[in-house]
Structure 1
């Protein structure tokens, strides 16, 4: 017993092709199933499926973004002291970096050279 829209597919050289869709008939109606030939609607099917093929798939609901639990930054308070006993004192400002005076380094690489 076929339901309306059931596929009629044929295999050719390992590739399955949709040839028709069930449109009526069958055991319930006392006769063989009736199929609508897909080839008659190929242009319409192509236009609809091409648009769907290039559309971005909808997001997976199981991968929905979770809300940030960080809250308002103004309510965070001061940072906790480090637990590393080797780190002492307050951080110092970073000094301006100067170009290297290494004699082995000669300027910036040219576009044709590997860095």
Structure 2
């Protein structure tokens, strides 16, 4: 259990850091996706900023819970976008991130109550 609570925030932060770079320096495919989803031009920079904030929160021990909450919000937005555009099969990763974040929060909160 200690490995779960100690390492998971850093693993998630590393994944979000990759997401930050993908959205901060988007290729044509990323730009096309955002256009197809109906987002304003350069909205991928907003996503990149939120991902970087998530990285920072997940990397600071006292703010990890906030990082997991922001992770859930970001991925719920991603799922809603994919649902709206009828691309829900691409939402598996977002769903996994939501479940992992929720599990971490539950484990952390219950361990703090004891």
State TM-score, norm by structure 1. Answer: 0.21
Flag the structure with higher strand content: 1
Structure of larger gyration radius? 1
Flag the structure with higher helix content: 2
Looking at both structures, which has the greater relative contact order when contacts are Cα pairs under 8 Å and sequence separation is at least 6? 2
State TM-score, norm by structure 2. Answer: 0.21
